[in-house]
Amino acid sequence: MPGFTHLHTVSGFSLRYGASHPERLAERASGRGMDALALTDRDSLAGSVRFAKACAKAGVRPLFGAELAVAAPATPGGDASVRRERRRTPVRGGAFIDESTPRVTFLARDGARGWADLCRLVSAAHTQEGLPLLSWDANHADGLTVLLGPDSDVGRALAAGRPDRAARLLASWREVYGDALRLEAVWHGRKGTGPGSLRLAARTLGFAAEHHVRPVLSNAVRYADPGLGPVADVLDAARRLVPVDPAKGLDSGEAWLKDPGAMLKTAERIVEAAGFRREAAPRLLEQTQATAAECLVDPEDDLGMGSVHFPEPHLVGAGRRTAQRALASRAAAGMVLRGYAGRRKYWERMHHELDIIAHHGFASYFLTVSQVVDDVRDMGIRVAARGSGAGSLVNHLLGIAHADPVEHGLLMERFLSKERVVLPDIDIDVESARRLEVYRAIIGRFGTERVATVAMPETYRVRHAIRDVGAALSMDPAEIDRVAKSFPHIRARDARAALEELPELRELAGEKEKYGRLWELVEALDALPRGIAMHPCGVLLSDASLLTRTPVMPTSGEGFPMAQFDKDDVEDLGLLKLDVLGVRMQSAMAHAVTEVERATGERIDLDAVPEGDPATYGLIRSTETLGCFQIESPGQRDLVGRLQPATFHDLVVDISLFRPGPVAADMVRPFIEARHGRAPVRYPHPDLEEPLKGTYGVVVFHEQVIDIVSIMTGCGRGEADRVRRGLSDPESQGRIKVWFAQHAAARGYDAETIHRTWEIVEAFGSYGFCKAHAVAFAVPTYQSAWLKAHHPAAFYAGLLTHDPGMYPKRLLLADARRRGVPVLPLDVNKSGVAHRIELVSDSSGGKGATWGLRLALSDVHGISEAEAARIAEGQPYASLLDFWERARPSRPLAGRLAQVGALDAFGANRRDLQLHLTELHRGARGGRGDQLPLSGGRSTAPAGLPDLTPSEKLSAELGVLSMDASRHLMDDHGTFLEELGVVSARRLREARHGDTVLVAGAKAATQTPPIRSGKRVIFSTLDDGTGLVDLAFFDDSHDACAHTVFHSWLLLVRGVVQRRGPRSLSVVGSAAWNLADLLEVRREEGLEGVASRLAAAEGSPGGDPGDGPARRRLAGSDGRPAPAGSAARDPMEDRTIRMPTGYEMHPWADLRPAGEGPAVGRKLWHQSPGSAG
Amino acid sequence: MTILCVRFQLPPMYEAALPGLLGLLEEFTPVVQALPPDGALADLRGAERYFGRTALELASVIRVRALALHGVDCVIGAGPGPMLARMALRDARPGLTRAVAEDEVREFLVDKPVVALPGVGTRTARTLCEYGLDTLGRVAAAPLSTLQRLVGARAGRELHEKANGVDRGRVVPNAVSRSLATERPFTRDELDPGRHRRALLSAAGELGARLRALDKVCRSLTLTVRYADIPHSRLRSSGGTPIATTRTRTLAEPTAHSAALTEAAYGLYEALGLQRARVRAIALRAEGLDPAERASHQLTFDPVDEKVRRLEEVADRARAKFGPRAVMPGSLAA
């Protein structure tokens, strides 16, 4: 029996079309006895790299291709009869998605040339407006094989019973592709003559024989396994934005990756139906095999995996010299400029580094990055390097990295060494608000043929899957919304398991049956890409051959060129990626500095603020670090409280300690004990004192491990770094242990020392933290804390404008109030587009002056940039009419401004103002002129409407500004809280360890981070106006509390105080109530009603709080969370107890993709507070 | 408190029993206004003296008789005017007639939400609540001119009077229902224009038949298409009113002719140009009902029109004899 190769196969990277992942397809192809498999995604090559890797793993030869919509060749005179009349614009629901363009499959045939052609065609298809479409003019290539299938124009003509027309169309294809043309027969068991029907397949075969074009057989695969037809239907529905309609024809269920035997049977049926003898069937399969055999594209050689392309030297300021020469001279110039010229150590280090760079030939890379940084700095944008690149002196000399690596003990080897053959990686942080400007500058500098942004596929997770499947199944939208929002952001494949297990979903699980097939389909969509977006920070830089190696499409918003590959693919392809991260904190600090200069004329150079400022460290030690970079999360506030940093180095250590690695290796407690002199400082061996001195004998940094290994074995730092990287892999760890023991023994260390040292190194694993990162992080940390200590109003103005933190804005505002910064209400005559500072009281000129924070127009819900700018430009306004006429706000916007008191200056109460605005609006529309009932010229006449009550005002502020601007929202409930005996956050500081207390407040942040113990812990922060209360709920309280905690905004919690230091405490919750409900009960039924409500709740399980030792033990030890993920968002605590080494993540730990920029996850968080809210 | 507002607790789909129950009320007073599908207003001003009982006592008599004769319970509200009687009805329960006396009108009204006032729809109520006028007490306290600025001159004046307890309405005997409506829901989100048109055809046919049965003609036709979508702003609160599109067209001449109604309905539908809209229901309403004998009809030389009308007449008779599904358009029979 002849073999068979599927030449037409799509994966999930055909957005909302293919139902299987490329990995699954490769696996199945191998499992079903096929030697090769083609991936021909729709309009995309995004799956190619994963597919190539999966194929290598499965032992299948990959073929690369794409399926593109091709426009018809322009016929002279035009085809007027076909032109359809324009349809009426629908009043509702939008027009149908037009997918009528014929589609053709292209396969890369001739190695690199084929791949380049494929890239070019895919890129060309994306240059059109609207859906991707390849114009006929761009439709030519030498290295491609073309399959004309049932969906091509030829196939359609055949389906319509017009072989004459098909012949005419075929001629124009032949003109372009000649012998590389194939006719593709597909049989999906459908009736009639349409695509997938036996008659069309037979006609195709007959037509091919008649016109001497070679036929091939394919199955137009959409999914790997049988039975996935309904999933394909859901995807079709999600793509076309219509519900699944059984009357309109469903997927045949046949488009799976059939084995060669089944395909032979298919071939026999088709051949017979075409009127040939049965023996022709193997010939059809042979033709298919022959076509597959011609398509030879090697992933390594032809896709360019493993080779590197830098921008040409003349573009990065090397002139006609070589890049290495240019780099060396610029580094030397940097030595002189920075005043290191007289220091031998620096010269040696520089030459050493230049050697390594020359060894790899990476000089252009350094020049490129330096060029980008210079350009950014020239634009007046704050820029800082982060990552291991900060460990290179050359980077420092070129002005890329801020901190001096020699002074901070940072190693080049952690970044780049002769032993390591990977692309170096320098990340630069810029102001988030101006990130796109930076992109434009980079593209402008190097040109679109060398620069592209990186793609980021958005994949289905449970909420989106429920929304799309629900819409496809015609579920009620309100119902879909409710079901989707009940889920935390988990993987779609866990939907049913989550229903079984999660306490907060119990109610939904009860009605599970009602939704029928929903759950099954939701799980089937798991992790399929549903859209493609621009990666928030990656930029590809290459030489002019970029476009022959990667397909590029424009991004939806800004129209930047974007490679279809994601960041991992790009690395595999050897494309040089520069990470340009937009950091909101940099924007916030820039705004604060500008505000200070605008208001006072004082220029602050943040990069030159004095080291070791006592006020700044005082602030940090007080743990009131809300809004400060990196140290504002509950866990970090706790750690800072215990660590009590006093120097920059302490900050570096603090940031490094707050990682999974140091916590797992039990480094936090010994470090703190030793630091406060409660435990002696120990070294495994006196030789190791040098690297470990700074951290009291505790290993915190990668650099220290490198030094330890290098000292103990004498292998050199480059090799030591390779060893360090090997530690994360258990297999190589065993080998390293033996190697380490041998070499250390050879250097004369005794067995005991070797054993102890190895224990430290092993526990360190690969977790620890790169000191270069930590130093780079600590700089903005210190700068932001300095701003908070010295220019609080401007600091808050920056924070509120750029929203960099993990907390909602209203919490920052509460913090500002607590720290004595007057919050000035919104006023159309005074507020700017962004938050500003204003002089409130000027005592003794300058010194001691109080600056207030004026809220910004941009925070008003639904205001457009243009409107905000117009209002700010027209200031001041004399009257309401003046404001209405000159600022021209939209009616709803004006109403909102009136509600929050921004128009109070014009007289009358807020409701009267609303009425006037409505009339002005009506007048403008009806053309009744400007009959405005004004009294006394300027101020607006009262209309006798009741004014907003204080609570209505507060609710308007929350609704319009998302902030309680005039006062704290808990202030109104003081009486009730006093009745309950609730402890305020301020008084909680005096509470003793083990006390049972009631706390209440507005929920500020809720997380269920991955916990090393494998348990799920819910962390939440409450804000009650006097401060923050950090809460933890362990899994024995979830049955009773989880739902309430996730779905309420105001919480009343009973719990036990856990105290771990003078400034560090949290409350372990055992019962939670929705405070808003209780307040309503109190209002309507009095205290008795509240009592009966509490009595009812107490009946449910998990009620009793203080039930003693079991819970305390659990709280104190077992459920100890460990931080994970990026530096920015480690929300958890770090009590230090031994834990299992295996990193077993709780399936329900609410993990979002780690996301490079801190801004990404935070923004997300802000949009949907809480995990299931 | 001489006006009664009665709501019979009819099981659904038994509107046919209403005329009999109205007859029961008419034994007490000739001034009875039907509030279909299940209610009525009765003015007992003359009856009190005639029967020598107060309105409240009469209310009990009415309830007993309705139960005894028809086996139907009823709820009764009583007040000095129709508006107050209606509002009183909302507070009443079977066996407990809520009566509002002349002198307690103000207290009765002061805490009621504005939407409780007959004639205040959701839209007016929303406008009033936006301006803090959420109870009738506050509405009553607001200056008349302000109310008029809010909801318009006439509506403002009426609102002001009503909120102050001035009830100028009266019971109008034999007030006819002025419109007929029918709705065709779909079991799933329906996008297919073919099925939309079938729903329109069947709805227009039904309206025509009902109009002809009543000997009425209608002057205009209103199409309401209800969608599955929910306004985004309301997704957050529990539920939300689905979005709908409503279009009205005045017919060339008043008619009850099914074919003419169908054509008008198709015209309305085509004008929407729907493509991807997820339609959940299509409703048709015939408005401006007049007696058929007052309608004029433009004769044409085309014999088809004449034939269709005569066919319709025959079909009506066949339906009267063999049931509503005896004769129907072929496209609906499938």
Does the CB of A948 have a partner CB in chain B at under 8 Å? yes
Name the residue type at position B217: V
Give the residue from A474, A479, A481, A931 with the most B CB atoms within 10 Å of its CB, the best one to mutate.
A474
Question: Residue A686: is the preceding peptide bond cis (ω within 30°)?
Answer: no
* Smallest Cα distance from A474 to chain B, Å: 5
Q: Who has greater pLDDT, A710 or A930?
A: A710
Q: How confident is the model at residue A1123 (pLDDT cuts 50, 70, 90)?
A: very low
Q: Name the CATH topology of B3-100.
A: Alpha-Beta Plaits (3.30.70)
Shortest Cα distance, chain B CAs vs residue A589, angstroms: 35
What's the confidence (pLDDT) of residue A265? 93
Asked if the C-beta of B17 comes within 8 angstroms of chain A's C-beta atoms, the answer is: no
| Residue of B230, B272, B275 lying closest to A94 (CB–CB) | B275
Q: Which of A90, A247, A945 sits opposite B142 (nearest CB)?
A: A945
How many beta-carbon pairs below 8 A join chains A and B? Answer: 97
Does B123 contact chain A (CB < 8 Å)? no
For helices A910-926 and B144-151, the axis angle rounded to 10 degrees is 50
Question: Hey, what are A649's tokens?
Answer: 């180095």
CATH class label, B106-163: mainly alpha
Q: CA–CA separation, B142 vs B136, rounded Å?
A: 10
Pairwise CB contact (< 8 Å): B149 & A943: yes
Q: Is pLDDT above 60 for A1048?
A: yes
pLDDT digits (tens, 9 = 90+) for B169-227: 888 776 555 677 888 989 888 899 999 999 999 999 989 988 888 788 999 999 999 88
Tell me how far apart the alpha carbons of residues B179 and A38 are, in angstroms, rounded to a whole number: 65
Interface predicted TM-score (ipTM) of this complex, two decimals: 0.70
Residue of A nearest to B132 (CA): A946
Give the integer Cα–Cα distance in Å for B309 and B298. Answer: 13
A74-88, B71-85, B293-307: which has the minimum mean pLDDT? Answer: A74-88
Alpha helices, DSSP H only, in A487-533? Answer: 495-501, 506-510, 518-524
Give residue A128's pLDDT band: very low, low, confident or very high (50, 70, 90). Answer: confident
Are A944 and B146 within 8 A, CB to CB? yes
3-class secondary structure for A429-460?
EEEHHHHHHHHHHHHHHHCCCCEEEEEEEEEC
Distance from CA of B140 to the nearest CA of A (A): 11
Say if residue A915's pLDDT is above 80.
Answer: yes
pLDDT of A1162 > 50? The answer is: no
pLDDT above 70 coverage of chain B, percent: 91
Partner-chain residue, chosen from A97, A248, A914, that has the shortest CB–CB distance to B130: A914
Residue of A88, A478, A947 lying closest to B273 (CB–CB):
A88
Domain boundaries, chain B: 3-100, 106-163, 179-333
In this complex, is the C-beta atom of B146 within 8 Å of any C-beta atom belonging to chain A?
yes
- Tell me whether A915 touches chain B (CB under 8 Å): yes
Quote the CA–CA distance of A565 and A563 in Å, as a whole number: 5
Q: A89, A92, A896: best mutation site toward chain B, by most B Cβ within 10 Å?
A: A92
A950 touches chain B (CB under 8 A): no
All residues of chain B having their beta carbon less than 8 Å from the beta carbon of residue A948 are 132
Residue A925 has pLDDT above 90, yes or no: no
**In this complex, is the C-beta atom of B300 within 8 Å of any C-beta atom belonging to chain A?**
no
Q: How far apart are CA B5 and CA B87, in angstroms?
A: 9
Flag whether pLDDT at A303 surpasses 80.
no
- Average pLDDT estimate for B138-151: 86
Q: Among residues of chain A, what percentage have pLDDT more than 90?
A: 32
Q: Which comes out higher in pLDDT, residue A127 or B38?
A: A127
Chain B residues with CB inside 8 Å of A919's CB?
149
Question: A6 — phi, psi (to 5°)?
Answer: -75, 115
Instruction: Please list every residue in chain B whose beta carbon sits closer than 8 Å to the beta carbon of residue A911.
Output: 131-132
- Quick one: CA dihedral A889, A890, A894, A897, positive or negative? negative
**Does A914 sit within 8 Å of B131, measured CB to CB?**
yes
Alpha-carbon distance of A1153 to A1137, in angstroms, equals 27
Could B271 and A88 be called an inter-chain contact, meaning their C-beta atoms sit closer than 8 Å? yes
A827 has a pLDDT exceeding 50: yes
For residue A242, list chain B residues with Cβ-Cβ distance below 8 A. 191, 276, 278
Q: List chain A residues with CB under 8 Å of B198.
A: none
Residues of A in Cβ contact (< 8 Å) with B188: 243, 474
* 8 Å CB contact of A96 and B188: no
For the record, the structure tokens of B244 come out as: 């709908």
Give the pLDDT score at A212: 93
| pLDDT in the model for residue A292 | 94
Q: What's the CATH fold of domain B179-333?
A: Dna Ligase; domain 1 (3.30.1490)
Q: Where does the pLDDT of residue B231 fall: very low under 50, low under 70, confident under 90, or very high at 90 and above?
A: low
The alpha-carbon gap from A899 to the nearest alpha carbon of chain B, in Å, equals 10
Is residue A66 predicted with pLDDT exceeding 90? Answer: yes
Facing residue for B273 by CB, picked from A90, A914, A948: A90
Q: What is the mean pLDDT of chain A?
A: 82
CA distance B226 to chain A (A): 10
Instruction: State how far residue B61 is from chain A, nearest Cα, in angstroms.
Output: 38
- In this prediction, residues A330-351 reach a mean pLDDT of 90
Measured in angstroms, the CA of A243 and the nearest CA of chain B are apart by 7
| Interval A906-926 mean pLDDT | 78
State which residue of chain B sits closest to A915, comparing Cα positions. B150
Q: Are the beta carbons of A911 and B149 separated by less than 8 Å?
A: no
The pLDDT, as a whole number, for residue A1115 is 32
pLDDT number for residue A1155:
24
Alpha carbon of B245: minimum distance to chain A alpha carbons (Å): 8
Mean pLDDT is highest, among A75-89, A189-203, A1117-1131, for: A189-203
First to last CA, chain A: 59
Closest Cα of chain A to B194: distance in Å? 12
DSSP per residue over A133-158, as a string?
Answer: -B-GGG---SSEEEEE-TTSHHHHHH
pLDDT of B180: 79
Across the interface, whether the CB atoms of B132 and A945 are under 8 A apart is answered: yes
Average pLDDT over residues A657-682: 76
- How far apart, in whole angstroms, are the C-alpha atoms of residue A1132 and residue A638? 9
Q: pLDDT for A357-374, tens place per residue?
A: 998 888 888 898 999 999
pLDDT in tens, B235-249: 444 344 567 888 999
Share of chain A above pLDDT 70, in %: 88
> Among all residues of chain A, which has the CA nearest to that of B187?
A474
pTM: 0.79
- Cβ contact, residue pair A477, B230, below 8 Å: yes
Please report the domains of chain A, with CATH numbers, ordered by start residue.
Answer: 22-74+97-294 (3.20.20.140), 313-457+536-585 (no CATH), 461-527 (no CATH), 606-780 (no CATH), 821-961 (no CATH), 972-1167 (2.40.50.140)
Of A88, A243, A918, the CB nearest to B191: A243
**What pLDDT digit, counting tens, does each position of B19-59 carry?**
778 888 888 888 888 776 678 888 888 888 888 888 888 88
Determine whether the interchain pair B271/A948 forms a contact, defined as Cβ–Cβ distance below 8 Å. no
Tell me how far apart the alpha carbons of residues A61 and A36 are, in angstroms, rounded to a whole number.
4
Interchain CB contact of B266 with A (< 8 Å): no
For residue range A434-446, what is the model confidence (pLDDT) as tens digits?
Answer: 988 999 999 999 9
| Contact between chains at B146 and A945 (C-beta distance less than 8 A) | yes
Q: How far is A241 from chain B (nearest CA, A)?
A: 7
Interface check B137 vs A, CB under 8 A? no
Is A95's CB within 8 Å of B276's CB? yes
- Is residue A844 scored above 70 in pLDDT? no
Residue A1153 pLDDT exceeds 50:
no
Residues of chain A with C-beta less than 8 angstroms from the C-beta of B277: 90-94
Contact between chains at B146 and A911 (C-beta distance less than 8 A): no
Over residues A463-504, the pLDDT tens digits come to 999 999 999 998 888 888 888 888 888 888 888 888 888 877
Structure confidence at residue A27 as a pLDDT band (50, 70, 90)? very high
Subunit contact B189:A243, Cβ cutoff 8 A: yes
**Backbone φ, ψ for residue B4 (5° rounding):** -110, 140
pLDDT of A548 over the 90 cut: no
Q: Is the pLDDT of residue A1107 over 80?
A: no
SS3 A168: helix
**Percent helix, percent strand, percent coil in chain B, to nearest 5:** 45, 25, 30
Check CB contact under 8 Å for A477 and B229: yes
More confident residue, A312 or A173: A173
Nearest to A948 among B132, B230, B235 (CB): B132
A1088 near A1100, Cβ under 8 Å?
no
**What is the chain B residue with the closest CA to A947?**
B132
pLDDT of residue A1096 exceeding 80, the answer is no
Question: Residues of A with CB below 8 A from B240's CB?
Answer: 478
